């Protein structure tokens, strides 16, 4: 059984690192998703990896839906070129919209905000708030430490065996999409007995 994706939420940084590989990675992801007819749901900004992702997707004829809090619109960082731009009041509403509008999640390199989005997608999968694949694009080894830490949490017993593989890791967007298409939802916490917790 494999999944097809109409849209994917793509989490990534609003910064522009000195290493040009990160911006090019975001552009490659945008072009690849557009080429496969997969729309992008993202944070609605025009800077850094976020802006590179959006512009590359649009240039390749793809759909881009931005979701951005009003406070960031007020700072004039919103990308007005999106196919659709949804303005929300809070970060929680933003993340809920990412979940509601997408068929899965892809995390590119980023910072604290990107980590907040990734871990909420993982936590919600554990709890059964969604049953969508959570992908991590570990390009140029950026997330090696996070992958190791996730394994450490599972090995120590803080992540249940049923949830060990919620984060789907790929080194290229093609590899990641292939793995995500084979996603099978994990048993959720609410499906477990008290003894399993």
Task: Decide if 59 is inside a domain.
Answer: yes
- Across the range 130-159, mean pLDDT stands at 97
* pLDDT tens for each residue of 47-97: 999 999 999 999 999 999 999 999 999 998 999 999 999 999 999 999 999
Task: Decide if 172 is inside a domain.
Answer: yes
3-state secondary structure at position 143: coil
Task: Decide if 2 is inside a domain.
Answer: no
Can you give the CATH number for the domain in which 53 is found?
Answer: 3.40.50.450
Supply the range of the domain harboring residue 101: 7-196
**pLDDT exceeding 70 applies to what percent of the chain?**
95
- Across the range 143-169, mean pLDDT stands at 96
Task: Decide if 1 is inside a domain.
Answer: no
Task: Decide if 71 is inside a domain.
Answer: yes
The pLDDT confidence band at residue 104, using thresholds 50, 70 and 90, is very high
Task: Decide if 122 is inside a domain.
Answer: yes
Sheet holding 105-107, edge to edge: 84-88, 64-69, 39-42, 7-11, 105-107, 134-137, 167-170
**Most distant CA atoms of the chain, gap in Å:** 52
- Residue 188, number of CB atoms within 10 A of its CB: 17
Look at the chain and report how many structural domains it folds into.
Answer: 1
């Amino acid at each position: 059984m494999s999944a097809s994706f109409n849209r994917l939420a793509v989490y990534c940084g609003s910064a522009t690192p000195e290493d040009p590989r990160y911006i090019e990675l975001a552009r490659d992801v945008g072009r690849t998703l557009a080429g496969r007819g997969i729309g992008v749901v993202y944070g609605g900004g025009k800077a850094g990896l976020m802006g590179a992702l959006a512009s590359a997707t649009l240039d390749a004829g793809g759909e881009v839906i931005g979701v951005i809090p009003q406070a960031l619109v007020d700072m004039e960082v919103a990308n007005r070129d999106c196919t659709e731009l949804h303005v929300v009041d809070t970060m929680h509403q933003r993340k809920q919209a990412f979940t509601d509008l997408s068929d899965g999640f892809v995390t590119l390199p980023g910072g604290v905000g990107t980590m907040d989005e990734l871990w909420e997608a993982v936590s919600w999968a554990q709890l059964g708030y969604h049953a969508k694949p959570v992908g991590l694009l570990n390009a140029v080894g950026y997330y090696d430490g996070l992958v190791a830490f996730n394994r450490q949490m599972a090995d120590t017993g803080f992540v249940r065996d049923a949830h060990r593989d919620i984060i789907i890791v790929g080194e290229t967007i093609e590899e990641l999409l292939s793995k995500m298409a084979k996603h099978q939802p994990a048993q959720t916490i609410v499906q477990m007995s008290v003894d399993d917790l």
